[in-house]
Amino acid sequence: MVKRINLIIVLALFWVSNLIAQETSYQKKVLESTEVDILMSYYAQDGIHSSVAGGEGTEELTDYTSSIVISMPINNNDVLTIDVGISAYTSASSSNINPFDRSGASKGENEEEDEDEEEDDKRALVKGVDNGLASPWYASSGASESDVLVHGSANYSHSSEDRNTIVSGNIGFSTEYDYFSIGVGGSFTKLFNEKNTEISLRAQAYFDTWKSIYPTELDTYLLEGGLDADFFQGVTITGNPNYSPTNFAINSDEQRNSYSFSASFSQILTKSIQGSLFFDLVMQDGLLSTPYHRIYFADRPDSYIEDFQLADDNENLPDTRFKLPIGMRLNFYLNEMFVIRSYYRYYYDDWGITAHTASMELPIKIGSKFTAAPLYRFYTQTASDYFAPKETHLSSDEYYTSDYDLSEFDANQYGLSLKYTDIFTKAKIWKFGLKNVELRYNHYQRSNDLDADIVTLGIKFVN
Amino acid sequence: MKLITALIFLITISSCTTVREYQKININDPDMVLSAQKIEKYETTFQTYREAAAGANGGKTGGGCGCN
């Protein structure tokens, strides 16, 4: 009898312990808690090759951007990420889509002066003296001087129970005055070899729509009766007074579609080294030119209103483009203080451009909470088959652009990132703890006289 | 391209060694992540505007904005 009772007690204890074990063994979530990332950036550039002014003119531009990215665990296996943001820019170059607002010539109404100071001696020499007249070297004050871009996207990812398979889908949009875009995509990721190897496939498509705006003298001439249009009344056209941009036509297609197929392969090489390879195959079709980029032909006489040369045409580029970038990363954990992050990319496209990008970042851990990371990036590209400087293309050419973003150049970028991390998230705002704060600055210098600076502040909270 | 092929080969043959989960403390360091970091998002955006090349970094490849 006692033996039977003992047996029952042992069995009962085994059952209870098994039950407790079942209740307490839970699957670790893919994402343990909600994460909120706030990003803010300030970007400023200046240069002398405005594509709006046909390759010669100010490229001064500033941009303020902020966005919030919220990642939420939906259940143990699923994560929803929402990303919304807004970007506001002012661009001296874009303002010169209608350069005559500034002086009041050609029915302009706004006579607000641009009061920006000259900082670069070379540019000051090129620009000459600001006499308040229309000029490619000074901002106009029309509607195209500034714009706001709003973007939003949602990504949903599902991980398998063993965390070796991840499937995700995304949808997004962005909108600004003359451009609207919708994007959809999906990815499939497989991990194996005890999560030492990862292969990922991704497909993405963007369906974009231009609301074309053109250099003001071109569409006015074409749509409002040539030189009889009100726009040309009461102003003096110097140089060639018989201005006649006969090449110009309104775009019949305002769609731009982009399709990309990507594959990546990641591998842990040792306990302290891992690397990855990326392959993208990108196809674009539709309106790939920018409608407000001016062109000045070598075989057409030059006409001016005030100090601004009237365009012979706008940019004309092929309606298809094929791109093939191949990239790789190799990261080394040297010791508790130093990590090396390296990156290289080769790029080819069928517009005649090949490019190489190499960058290196050296995160240095200072104590348990601070990281400083100096970084350097080098970029070089060949010119597109369709690029030529101002007054070089012929009006008989099939395709032409004077956009220096498609010219041959090298670029150097130097930067520093400072990061504070508190894994215990002691500092709280409402229900969220501060996980890290990162401030990152980069100076960018192109060999064809364009300089830029960007400062980004990132703050991460976790619930 | 030869360099890329050589690196692919190197990475492939090196994959014979398996690093166990408990040995991944260095690999799991946040600075070792094999993608562009979130804070690089706007740098990548301006580079996509100012340069012809884009893509192969886990981010945008063109489209979705007024840039190339």
Give me the pLDDT at residue A112, please: 38
Chain A residues near residue B28 by CB distance under 8 angstroms: none
Two tokens, residue A417: 């990132």
Q: What is the pLDDT of residues A425-460, one digit of tens each?
A: 788 888 889 999 999 999 999 999 999 999 999 999
Interface contact flag, A454 B47, Cβ < 8 Å: no
Residues of chain B in contact with residue A323, where contact means CB-CB under 8 angstroms, are: 53-55, 61-62
Query: Is the Cβ pair B46, A444 closer than 8 Å?
Result: yes
Alpha carbon distances (Å) from A311 to A60, A217, A226, A250, A331: 20, 7, 14, 14, 49
Q: Is A164 on the interface with B (CB under 8 A)?
A: no
Query: Which residues from chain A sit within 8 angstroms of residue B46, using beta carbons?
Result: 43, 45, 63, 444, 452, 454
CA distance B44 to chain A (A): 11
How many angstroms separate the first and last alpha carbons of chain A? 56
HSE-CB of A37 using CA atoms within 13 angstroms: 19
Q: What is the CA radius of gyration of chain A?
A: 29
The beta-carbon neighbor of B19 closest among A196, A208, A262 is: A196
**A363 in contact with B at a CB cutoff of 8 Å?**
yes
Is B61 in Cβ contact with A260 (below 8 Å)? Answer: yes
Test A452 with B46 for CB contact under 8 angstroms: yes
Q: What is the pTM of this model?
A: 0.85
**What pLDDT score does A170 carry?**
96
Kind plus residue range of the DSSP H or E element containing A93: helix A92-95
Q: Do A43 and B21 touch (CB under 8 A)?
A: no
Q: Inter-chain contact A271–B62, Cβ cutoff 8 Å?
A: no
Q: How close does chain B come to A333, measured CA to CA in Å?
A: 6
Q: CA-to-CA distance for A124 and A58, rounded, in angstroms? A: 10
How many inter-chain contacts (A to B, CB under 8 Å) are there? Answer: 196
Task: State pLDDT tens for residues A244-268.
Answer: 999 999 988 899 999 999 999 999 9
* Chain B contact for A181 (CB, 8 A cutoff): yes
Which residue is closest to B21 within chain A, CA to CA?
A: A194
* CB–CB contact A279 B56 (8 Å): yes
Question: Quick one: B29 exposed, middle or buried, by C-beta within 10 A (0-12, 13-18, 19+)?
Answer: middle
Report how far residue A280's alpha carbon sits from residue B6's, in angstroms, rounded to the nearest whole number. 19
The residue with tokens 């003296």 is: A129
Measure CB to CB from residue A43 to each of B35, B41, B46 and give the nearest one. B46
- Residue to test with chain A: of B24, B26, B45, B60, most A Cβ within 10 A: B26
Please answer yes or no on whether A381 and B15 come within 8 Å at the CB atom: no
- How much is the pLDDT for A226? 87
What is the predicted pLDDT for the residue at A65? Answer: 95
Judge whether A59 is closer than 8 Å to chain B, CB to CB.
Answer: no
A97 touches B at CB < 8 Å: no
Q: How far is A156 from chain B (nearest CA, A)?
A: 17
Q: What is the pLDDT of residue A98?
A: 81
User: What residues in A contact B17, CB-CB < 8 Å?
Assistant: 269-270
**DSSP calls for A338-387:** BEEEEEEEEEEETTS-EEEEEEEE--EEETTTEEEEEEEEEEEEPPPTTB
Residues in contact with A145: Cβ distance below 8 Å, sequence separation at least 6, in sequence order: A90, A91, A92, A94, A95, A139
Residue of A nearest to B29 (CA): A333
CB within 8 Å: B4 and A326: yes
The pair of three-digit structure tokens given for residue A171, joined into one six-digit string = 């949808």
Average pLDDT, chain A: 87
Tell me the C-alpha distance between A433 and A32, whole Å: 14
The token duo for A91 is 């661009």
Question: In A, which residues are within 8 Å of B13 by CB distance?
Answer: none
| Residues A45 and A452 sit within 8 Å (Cβ to Cβ) | yes
User: Are A138 and A83 within 8 A, CB to CB?
Assistant: no
pLDDT tens-digit readout, B25-57: 999 999 999 988 889 999 999 999 999 998 877
Nearest chain A alpha carbon to B43: A454
What is the pLDDT at residue A121? Answer: 47
Query: For the segment A10-36, what is each residue's pLDDT rounded down to a tens digit?
Result: 555 555 445 444 444 567 888 989 999
Q: Which residues of chain A have pLDDT under 50?
A: 16-17, 19-24, 108-123, 125
A48 in contact with chain B, both atoms CB, cutoff 8 A:
no
